Structure 1
Amino acid sequence: MNETQAEATVEILPPRDVPLGGPRAMNVRRTLPQRSRSLIGAWCFADYYGPDEIAVTGGMDVAPHPHIGLQTVSWLFKGEIEHRDSLGTLSMIRPGELNLMTGGHGICHSEVSTANTDVLHGVQLWVALPDQCRDTGPDFHHYVPQTTTLDGGDVKVFLGSLAGDTSPVTTFTPLLGAELRLDPGATVTLAVDPAFEHGLLVISGDVSLAGTRLSPSHLGYLPIGRDTLTVTNHSDAPAVAMLLGGPPSGEEILMWWNFVGRTQEDIEKAREDWMNGTRFGEVIGYPGDPLPAPELPRVPMKPRS
């Protein structure tokens, strides 16, 4: 494939600014979902935030809120976040460490940046559970991946396999999730599964994917059919990006608020259970009230595929 063809196949997904966390909202930049693309494999949601000076922004304070039908992936580049959930988990999210929470039938959690944090910088990602697994029991995993050295950078593989490293964390569908760091001026070519579609979310640097330039906070998408991905850092400083992948889902999902379902009834029942204080349990130790669910839309929800 020549470079002109490569450029034509990369779809650029720009971010949009979104407030996160209710009345104490912080701003995030969201690239998934959007009108032109809802999923990359089973990845259905991607928020990127920071680097934020906590003294200016107030940091992250997301009160207890519910999830169904998905997994949350928390990954930091700088700072520290306290995670509490209705399983009784108390875990610190730190740079280079995976925190993976399975919502399944129902879970709730809170996320608060700690007093140790001066600058907060990270991503929050969601994975849609396949239909046959979306009612599974809630769960939580913490994993610290190793750093694999590349010719021109390094990579931390937190889900799936890449560059000779495989994460031990079990997923419900085949997935790839990795932090990629490139040296100044470096080009890295990675062997990947041609059955996967891929997305590269640029965190910092002047980066190109398969010959197409991507600005920071933008996500470049490539469809199935490639057995290698070429990423170049055109800047004179290190570059950082998140590489996400998986086989096309083939399923339609409904996403509303913090829920992933298949029917409007799924969403309505989850909202009712949350507001009634059933199904999701309770987060112990958060100094405040849970987030109330917003009002349901007045029109039928449209599935995403």
Structure 2
Amino acid sequence: MSNLDTRPRPTTCGGREDVSAAPVRDLLTGRVVPLGESTEVRRLLPNLGRRMVGAWCFVDHYGPDDIADEPGMQVPPHPHIGLQTVSWLHEGEVLHRDSLGSLRTVRPRELGLMTSGRAIAHSEESPREHARLLHGAQLWVALPEAQRHREPSFEHHADLPLVTGGQGGLQATVFMGGLDTAVSPGSAFTPLIGADLALTEGTEVRLPLERDFEYAVLAMAGRIDVDGVPVEPGSMLYLGCGRAELPLRADSEGSVMLLGGEPFEERLVMWWNFVARSGEEIARAREEWNTGTAFGAVHGYDGDRLLAPELPATPLRPRGRER
């Protein structure tokens, strides 16, 4: 999925100066951003004061939206470098096309994972015949230096491992990394976790965590208390590091997404749909996309590709200091 801002703000990410070594409870609210022709998203990352959680560098939550009489999601072909996109649905379907020739419909609780590597382009759209509701999240994972120039790829995994708890009241679908004894088949290039946690009403459970990871919880549906903090759908609770377990209590049937990983130490520059290490690299990728000299073509999308906007006047530089 794309960042469709026509005036995207450059974001400097990475480093460990803003990583809490001890548990915290910082509640983040999303910024409403239009996506395509008829979809709005709540952008949780990057957020004021919080740019990454582990290698997770971009989080959008959307829906539930009634699209019975609407085209639904319509994101034209656009490019990516230096990241992985993770498509995750609770309701609806998204048709993925990319410059590798991939054509796949991603459905609820299936993993659509695209690794851009050095360069890829893709589009995402609701199929012509689609479900009434659309609800999900789109996330990016920053690739480390050793992997960010790799060949691009696309994976689709419909069969994902589960973790249960709370006497059956918790069912966790592990879509990236590992949780407890379950490991996702999705390719991951840094230590991280992405899991969808569904809880029945009245469930209380303590989820095992890694002390060296930083974590956040994105609320998807219902009312869930996370370490004593009620988290409403479309908001995200940043939890810091130093936790061996996470208390969860469901006041109603609901679901949250657990995101985490080792703090990402490398300095990054993120602008529009590119994750890089310098402004010069961003400028080069933008020029190559707009002139059609790289990234390849996405075939089958009914519409024009999305051109990159103008770069900001100020130089794009990674900043930060070691914790």
TM surpasses 0.5: yes
Show CA shifts across 1:12-57 (max 9, x none): 1111101113xx2521001000120100000000001011111355
User: Which stretch has the larger CA shift, 33-42 or 211-220?
Assistant: 211-220
Taking the TM superposition and a 5 Å limit, the aligned residue runs for 1:61-76 are 61-76=74-89
Gaps of 5+ in 1: 1-6
Matched residues in 2 for 1:302 and 1:190: separation? 38
Name the residue aligned to 1:290: 305
Contact 1:66 1:109 in 2 (8 A): yes
Q: Quickly say closer, same or farther: Cα 1:302–1:117, change in 2 above 3 A.
A: farther
Name the residue aligned to 2:3: none
Matched residues in 1 for 2:90 and 2:266: separation? 32
Normalising by the residue count of structure 1, what TM-score does the alignment of the two structures yield?
0.93
Matched residues in 2 for 1:9 and 1:159: separation? 23
Taking the TM superposition and a 5 Å limit, the aligned residue runs for 1:1-305 are 9-21=24-36, 24-55=37-68, 57-114=70-127, 115-144=129-158, 145-151=160-166, 152-235=169-252, 238-303=253-318
Aligned-pair RMSD on alpha carbons? 1.6
Q: CA deviation at 1:88?
A: 0.4
Q: Report the AA paired with residue 170 of structure 1.
A: S
User: Which stretch has the larger CA shift, 176-185 or 212-221?
Assistant: 212-221
User: Which stretch has the larger CA shift, 184-193 or 85-94?
Assistant: 184-193
Q: Quickly say closer, same or farther: Cα 1:8–1:174, change in 2 above 3 A.
A: closer
Q: CA deviation at 1:171?
A: 0.8
Matched residues in 1 for 2:149 and 2:260: separation? 23
Normalising by the residue count of structure 2, what TM-score does the alignment of the two structures yield?
0.88
Matched residues in 1 for 2:109 and 2:116: separation? 22
Matched residues in 1 for 2:23 and 2:143: separation? 31
Contact 1:86 1:283 in 2 (8 A): yes
Matched residues in 1 for 2:71 and 2:209: separation? 40
Matched residues in 2 for 1:34 and 1:25: separation? 23
Q: Report the AA paired with residue 194 of structure 1.
A: R
Partner SS, residue 114 of structure 2: strand
Show CA shifts across 1:94-145 (max 9, x none): 0010010001110000001011222111100000111222111101111121
Matched residues in 2 for 1:116 and 1:271: separation? 33
Contact 1:38 1:304 in 2 (8 A): no
Matched residues in 1 for 2:184 and 2:23: separation? 32
User: Which stretch has the larger CA shift, 114-123 or 38-47?
Assistant: 114-123
Q: CA deviation at 1:164?
A: 2.4
Q: Report the AA paired with residue 160 of structure 1.
A: G
Matched residues in 1 for 2:184 and 2:319: separation? 29
Q: CA deviation at 1:185?
A: 1.8
Partner SS, residue 133 of structure 1: coil
Instruction: Extract structure 1 runs of 4+ deviating beyond 4 A.
Output: none
Contact 2:23 2:239 in 1 (8 A): no
Q: Report the AA paired with residue 227 of structure 1.
A: A
Gaps of 5+ in 2: 1-21
Which structure would you say has the larger RCO, counting Cα contacts within 8 Å and 6 or more residues apart?
Answer: 2
Q: CA deviation at 1:63?
A: 0.5
User: Which stretch has the larger CA shift, 118-127 or 146-155?
Assistant: 146-155
Name the residue aligned to 2:9: none
User: Which stretch has the larger CA shift, 11-20 or 70-79?
Assistant: 11-20
Q: Report the AA paired with residue 156 of structure 2.
A: H
Q: CA deviation at 1:304?
A: 6.3
Q: Percent identity?
A: 49
Matched residues in 2 for 1:47 and 1:245: separation? 16
Matched residues in 2 for 1:303 and 1:180: separation? 34
